[in-house]
Amino acid sequence: MRMKPHTAQDKKLADDECMLRAWHAWHAEELAEALAGPHRQVLEPLVQLLETLDLHSSKALLDYIRAQDWNAIDAQTKLVVLHEINSAITKLRVRNGMAPIDDALWGERATAFQLIRLIIVPINGKPAAGRLSGQSDVQRRML
């Protein structure tokens, strides 16, 4: 049995916890729908790869992402994919004592996630570059 919050701060914490659970449940539903949809042949191996992600997996993850035809995949599925990749990388970084997010700034080598995002959802139809300045070298930082 759950106790009722006594203070405004307790109520806010309880409300926030409830919202977070609902948000996680919604994302789980979105993933389940995507895995049951027409692009499951792309998503199933990706989810398996994300479950085994480690700090040295950026090349394998990028290779898998590059091998897919993202033009054939609908926008909603792409958003689910980006969310799952972002979540997996964030959890990996935190588990290894790193900041959850460490995106490169303009002119720096792009992170693996930044490259992945640009492959899946290119800006103005242009493929991902290795640096955020638009240079074509394919250098990248670890996850």
What was the pLDDT predicted at 139?
Answer: 40
Please list the ranges in the chain whose pLDDT falls under 70.
1-5, 125-143
User: What is the C-alpha separation between 52 and 88, in angstroms, rounded?
Assistant: 9
Nearest to 142 by CA among 99, 122, 113, 107: 113
Largest CA distance in the chain: 58
40-63 tens-digit pLDDT: 999 999 999 999 999 999 999 999
Could you tell me the pTM of the whole model?
0.76
Nearest to 64 by CA among 87, 46, 86, 37: 46
The domain locations on the chain are 1-36, 39-143
